[in-house]
Structure 1
Amino acid sequence: MTDQAVDNGGTKVSAEGQRPAAESAPTESQFLGRTRELKELRADIERAGLDTISGRKAPRARVLLIAGKPGSGRTALAGELARQVAESYPDGVLRARLSEADGTPVPTERTARELLTALERPTPPGADADALGEALREALAVRRVLLVLDDAADAEQVDALLPDTPDCLVIAVSGGPLTGIADVRPCTLGGLDTKAALELLGRFTGEVRITVDPLSAENLVELCAGQPAALVLAGGWLASRPQSAVADLAKHLRGEGEDGPAPARMFRLTYASLPSAAARILRLLSLAPAGLVDPHTASALAGCSVSAARTTLDDFAALGLLRPMESPLPQYEVPGCLLPLLTALTEAHDRPAELQLARARMLERTVRLLVSCRAITETDSSPAREKLAGMPRALRFPNPRAAADWLRIRQPALLASARLAVADGELDTLARRLMAALVRAMVAHVGTQAAAPELYGIHRLVLDVAERRKLPRERAAALLNLADLDAQTGRTPEALARYRAALDAGREANDLYATGRAMESVGGAYQELGDYDRAADWYGRALSERLARDERVEAARLYGRIATAHTYAGRYGEALRNWRAAVTGHRKNGDLAAQARALSELARVQEYAGRPEESLRTCQEAAELARRADDVRLQAALQLRLADTLDRLGDPAAAKLHRVAAGRMLGDELPESASAREQDANAYEIRSTPEED
């Protein structure tokens, strides 16, 4: 069997596009050959390790290594072994690919995050590789899981992901030995045996073409060195030429000489037979992000229609030049053993300007798809409807569910597109537009909290571009976004440093929004750190800016934040003064709900200050305003506060009435503080770069 059966290049995703807790074993297999290797690997699972022989319990999972060159069928062998032993691991099979399509090692942080997501465990945005690796080991410590790590570049990648329990099994796939991991014996792959190789060819050509000339077929297998990738290309070549004999292909392949490995020689023969237009499209697929191709990507790269691109991709898959992926959407993967060959052909035949134009078309198409993906969620908006109506039919989604499915399934390729666009350095304007569109689409479909881990990486890319291009406005926006996510995950000192850097960038850009937002956020960070004097000072600076610009709504809210800082510091007099200013501001703005919340907090501070009678009157006033504002949750919270105050004043009968009233409003639900909800809603806003679609 060949590498045709590999997964999608990341943690395994089900056919419906959902990430399961773990992949269950398939019920049947189309795998061919490798009987001896499978027997050895299964025996290696059962053999006693060095720790067991020495009388110690194995501290970590057993690692089985399948070593071989790309195209040798190493990934397919790992998949077949996983299928055969999956029943012994009831918590399922997890898969991850540790190298990009071009051979670049995948950061451990990203792999650990994908595996934790597959296990439905939280992945804090911005967490480093050590923290995520530890979280992964904790998650696997209570599970019996089979972990398949494909295309490992070195031992460090595997070691960082090893479960600290002998109940799990790791199958690692690599090009060579993993020196540094104890007790690992590699299973090194050569070519398929002749019987399995002939059967593989027969799946493409039919058995008759093999049996009528068995000597030529065996000769072809020998010329392909039994390498599955070369045999698949040979089978595709023969299938596309039903009138050609196996001997004809063997003759052509001998004409290629012995320069390079068998898959490379068979690829050159297949490539030479392609029409010039198809050959150009194939070369340009080397630019596809993460080696993942869909009809839109191919269409944009080649400058042809989507339907023509789909037909061409299907033709390439039939020839063995692409691998169809298990997905509800048409998706393909460029085989890792062919990608260097395509890249070399691209560099030899296509001018740099043409390649840059193809990249730009691909990024522009991705931006338009992301804009469409977000716009379908805003059909109540007239501008969104107009934007959708103005798009070609091929770029429109039939409904929000289809758009969400596309976004989820294509997310690995979309994130890879962003990384490649930033690394390119010559398409920064498109890169900024792409990242802004990706942020907005993910927030629209997934929500800010759920998308936070991916958003963190995107905002770091935005920051890279902003610093490279010396764009202070975009730099301020990226720093604010990153600091917000740092603050949400408890990294307050890091958030504080980024807020202050955002303030400097905002001042450089004369961005009033960024400077005001950064000042307030600096105050919030100091408050979280318990430095209430500095918190009140920074809130005061932000308030001065708002008052100077006559931003009354924001000024009234900031009076409340200053009052909160003084309350935490025990300065009740200052807190009362600022809450009264907040109440006055909300009243002038005509915001009954905000006025009621401010009065509620004023009553709380009055109670802290030992003024229960004043607190009672203020709370009653707030309850009336909440009733007029139709804020049921706040009404209920105030009724409970009135009950507590009346208890302290020695009137339990009246207190009971207020509790009953609160119960009627919300049943058994205990309302949270409305002011706390307000602060949470305003404290950490996710803001993308101010780039228009």
Structure 2
Amino acid sequence: MTDQAVDVGGAAAQCGPAGPEPSGRQFFGRRRELKELREDVERAGLDTLSGRKSPRARVLLIAGRPGSGRTALAEELVRLLADDYPDGVLRARLTEPGGAPVPTERVARDLLDLLDVPVPPGGDGDELGGLVREALAARRALLLLDDAADAEQVDPLLPENADCLVVATARGPLTGIPDVRPCVLGGLDPKSAVAFLEEFAGSVRITVDPLAAANLAEECGAQPAALALVGGWLRDRPQSAVADVTKRLRALPEDGGVLTARLPAADRPLVHAFRLVYEGLPGPTARLLRLLSLAPAGLADAQTASALAGCSVSAAQNTLDDFVAYGLLAVAGEPHERPAQYVVPGWLAPLLGRLAEAADRPAELQLARARMLERTVRLLQSCRAVTEPDGSPARKKLAGLPRALRFPTAPLAAEWLRTRRPALLAAARLAVEDGELDTLARRLVAALVRALAAHRGTAAAAPDLYGLHQLVLDVAERRELPREQAAALLNLGDLDAEAGRTRDALVRYRAALDAGRAAGDPYATGRAMESVGGAHQELGDWTRAADWYGRALAQRLARGERADETRLHGRLGAVLTYAGRYGEALRSWRAAVAGFRRLGDLPGQARALSEVARVQEYAGRPEESLRTCREAVEWARQAGDLRLQAALQLRLADTLDRLGDPAGARQHRGAAERLLEPAREGAAPAYEIRSASAKD
């Protein structure tokens, strides 16, 4: 049975690897279970009975086998309770379609994204789980955790707030979580089972022969997924009687090959119903269904299906819609939305995987996977290219693509990227884990990084980019590609540094330096040395920072890279100032002034002169500092930078105050005020030239 959509603030709130929320049909049955679950919400917990206030959210557990309708029941409960939780409903799926548990950090990251809480890139499960609990501590929210593998997945996400409620679904008990309220599902009641069958098969044959319909529901174990399958089979065969389906199911041999090997008795109705549908599909259609086992995160659309099967996009779209009618797939989001996205149910994915391994050669599966990844790369390239200016090389290349691979506008491309993000990230992970498609994997990750940066910005996309750079590093290490290894380590180091993990960043930068040297890459080597210096500077180790900046500077001088030389002279001058080595700092800043002069960068020259003045003042030479600062003001005036002039005038005023000339200081502050007038009327405020010295 499919999930029910629940709106929060006018939009469905959904997170987790399962991607967008599947749209629902009418809910059937489970009235007794719903009543018990709602009563459990109000029932006192063990802490309350003992006289203590509950320190955590109440947990309601809906346990049942895949296909029993546990997610649908959870969604119906959420729909009924949503009004009691004004801070909204949050959803997360905790198990991949193949059965692997989703890492806590990935689930927590998506929950934090829904809560509009900044996510530190590279955070581990403990850190991000703590942020989720902290964010929910002051909220009254409802958290739906679907398909939990065990209590260890649920526990880190439980809000430490009794005003929140957690609804979890799982195959069995969540041992280890206290005071869990379990609701174990069997089949639907007979009346609801027949009504559910009628929803898929149509009303005429069910009404004509209600006894046969009841027998068919019993043969299906009254399991919603099995009833949906046989109902879809009947809808597709209007000449078949309901009793015929029951006979066909009973006639199926117990030896069904890979589908029935070591099959538990409780799973037989669902597997037999699936065999009935699958064995009646035409060959190409059955093959496409099997290949959906390769869909990343169990999410597919017409483009994915087209690439997997090697057919047209329109043919793939029609086939996917037929699968929905059969009850094999659910539609993600609203059914009328196009292009639609489809969800492979958790019970179906393992069956399709077994069928694909048995019916298709490994080379065919690998080719289908490669076609899918190549199509994804081209879509991502198109998604990024639409953000480029008209007439750019990227836009010209975009115009040459087939219409099905083009995005007409940037907003449509951004929306596609947003809705497909879980599947795209999963595709990148699966491509890297495959190990045999590394070239495609590298192209896919690179295209995804560029598309995310173009549409979301590097800061907003940093949590996703961190994982993608880690994937690049995995491939580079496996393939012994030191140049790419160095680039990935530098990117990861930068993200660690931005997240405040300076020591972790330092380790990354040192590893990048080794990889850059192994690759003979002067850019990576120089960049790594400068970054090591920056990490030591952030840690307050001025001596080591100066040493590493000096090494990076020596390399830039040897290569004649003027702009980088000038920048490094400035960085070296700053840490030497912090270290109190004013003579060396003055030499570095004067070298930076000369470098900016050669580059024709007048604002840069003025800023560097301002720093020279600062160091002169620290060194006890105020008159020289005053002269240098006036020279800096003149260069800023020649550059026509009013904001820079104002900042330097304020610097002059501070210096004159320290020299005991308050009248001169007032004069320069007045000049700064006049320069700042245009900025106050509309633009950003003026900035001050500062090197953040501890002596300030």
TM-score by length of 1: 0.93
Partner of 2:527: 517
Partner of 1:317: 324
The SS at the match of 1:149 is: strand
**CA distance in 2: counterparts of 1:629 and 1:124, whole angstroms:** 39
Displacement after TM superposition at 1:672 (Å): 3.5
Q: Any conservation in 2 of the 1:3–1:228 contact (CA below 8 Å)?
A: no
**CA distance in 2: counterparts of 1:615 and 1:209, whole angstroms:** 97
CA offsets, 1:331-380, max 9 Å, x none? 00111111111111101110000100111111111111111111111134
Displacement after TM superposition at 1:592 (Å): 1.9
Q: Any conservation in 2 of the 1:12–1:19 contact (CA below 8 Å)?
A: no
Q: Does 1:115 align with 2:111?
A: yes
Displacement after TM superposition at 1:4 (Å): 4.5
The SS at the match of 1:225 is: coil
Amino acid at match of 1:672: Y
Q: Does 1:3 align with 2:10?
A: no
**Residue among 282, 286, 297 paired with 1:275:** 282
Displacement after TM superposition at 1:326 (Å): 0.4
Distance 1:391 1:675, change over 3 A: farther
Q: Any conservation in 1 of the 2:133–2:159 contact (CA below 8 Å)?
A: yes
Partner of 2:72: 76
Q: Does 1:656 align with 2:672?
A: no
Q: Any conservation in 2 of the 1:74–1:189 contact (CA below 8 Å)?
A: yes
**Residue among 564, 577, 582 paired with 1:572:** 582
Amino acid at match of 2:439: T
The SS at the match of 1:3 is: coil
**CA distance in 1: counterparts of 2:12 and 2:179, whole angstroms:** 38
Q: Any conservation in 1 of the 2:611–2:691 contact (CA below 8 Å)?
A: no
Distance 1:574 1:12, change over 3 A: farther
Amino acid at match of 2:303: H
Displacement after TM superposition at 1:662 (Å): 3.6
The SS at the match of 1:187 is: strand
Q: Does 1:59 align with 2:59?
A: no
Distance 1:380 1:640, change over 3 A: farther
Partner of 2:301: 294
| Residue pairs, 1:612-631, within 5 angstroms | 612-631=622-641
| Residue pairs, 1:369-408, within 5 angstroms | 369-380=379-390, 382-408=392-418
Distance 1:373 1:504, change over 3 A: same
Partner of 1:304: 311
Q: Any conservation in 2 of the 1:536–1:562 contact (CA below 8 Å)?
A: yes
Q: Any conservation in 2 of the 1:546–1:554 contact (CA below 8 Å)?
A: yes
Displacement after TM superposition at 1:200 (Å): 1.3
- Unaligned 5+ segments in structure 2 are 255-259, 261-266
Further displaced range: 616-625 or 310-319: 616-625
Displacement after TM superposition at 1:597 (Å): 2.0
Displacement after TM superposition at 1:610 (Å): 3.1
Distance 1:435 1:674, change over 3 A: farther
Distance 1:609 1:380, change over 3 A: farther
CA offsets, 1:424-466, max 9 Å, x none? 1111111111111111111111111111111111111111111
Displacement after TM superposition at 1:636 (Å): 2.7
CA offsets, 1:175-213, max 9 Å, x none? 000011111131100011111111112222332221100
Distance 1:281 1:29, change over 3 A: closer
Q: Any conservation in 2 of the 1:640–1:662 contact (CA below 8 Å)?
A: no
Partner of 2:252: 256
The SS at the match of 2:61 is: strand
Further displaced range: 647-656 or 73-82: 647-656
Q: Any conservation in 1 of the 2:3–2:75 contact (CA below 8 Å)?
A: no
Q: Does 1:39 align with 2:35?
A: yes
Partner of 2:343: 333
Further displaced range: 647-656 or 133-142: 647-656
Amino acid at match of 1:604: R
Partner of 2:230: 234
Amino acid at match of 1:173: T
CA offsets, 1:239-293, max 9 Å, x none? 1122222122222222225665212111111111111111111110100000000
Distance 1:188 1:676, change over 3 A: farther
**CA distance in 2: counterparts of 1:631 and 1:659, whole angstroms:** 12
Partner of 1:685: none
The percent identity for this pair of structures is 68
The SS at the match of 1:610 is: coil
Displacement after TM superposition at 1:574 (Å): 1.3
Amino acid at match of 1:614: E
**CA distance in 2: counterparts of 1:507 and 1:156, whole angstroms:** 43
Amino acid at match of 1:168: C
Displacement after TM superposition at 1:673 (Å): 4.2
Amino acid at match of 1:654: Q
CA offsets, 1:38-92, max 9 Å, x none? 1111111111211111122111111110000010000010011111112221111
Partner of 2:686: 671
Q: Any conservation in 1 of the 2:607–2:632 contact (CA below 8 Å)?
A: yes
| Residue pairs, 1:357-368, within 5 angstroms | 357-368=367-378
Q: Does 1:440 align with 2:450?
A: yes
Distance 1:112 1:282, change over 3 A: same
Distance 1:190 1:257, change over 3 A: farther
Displacement after TM superposition at 1:235 (Å): 1.5
**Residue among 484, 496, 510 paired with 2:494:** 484
**CA distance in 2: counterparts of 1:341 and 1:570, whole angstroms:** 70
CA offsets, 1:506-558, max 9 Å, x none? 00001111000000000000111111011111101001101101111110111
Partner of 1:563: 573
Q: Any conservation in 1 of the 2:4–2:25 contact (CA below 8 Å)?
A: no
| Residue pairs, 1:564-643, within 5 angstroms | 564-643=574-653
Partner of 1:680: none
**CA distance in 2: counterparts of 1:665 and 1:674, whole angstroms:** 19
Q: Does 1:425 align with 2:435?
A: yes
Q: Any conservation in 1 of the 2:2–2:23 contact (CA below 8 Å)?
A: no
Displacement after TM superposition at 1:648 (Å): 3.0
**CA distance in 1: counterparts of 2:24 and 2:240, whole angstroms:** 33
Q: Any conservation in 2 of the 1:637–1:662 contact (CA below 8 Å)?
A: no
Partner of 1:224: 220
**Residue among 134, 141, 164 paired with 2:137:** 141
Partner of 1:553: 563
The SS at the match of 2:508 is: helix
**CA distance in 2: counterparts of 1:656 and 1:15, whole angstroms:** 53
Displacement after TM superposition at 1:480 (Å): 0.4
Amino acid at match of 1:656: R
Displacement after TM superposition at 1:123 (Å): 0.8
**CA distance in 2: counterparts of 1:514 and 1:675, whole angstroms:** 29
Further displaced range: 135-144 or 203-212: 203-212
Partner of 2:175: 179
Q: Does 1:541 align with 2:554?
A: no
The SS at the match of 2:459 is: helix
**CA distance in 1: counterparts of 2:356 and 2:643, whole angstroms:** 64
Displacement after TM superposition at 1:13 (Å): 11
Q: For the aligned residues, what is the CA RMSD? A: 2.3
Q: Any conservation in 1 of the 2:68–2:224 contact (CA below 8 Å)?
A: yes
Runs of 4+ in structure 1 over 6 Å off: 11-14, 16-20, 25-29
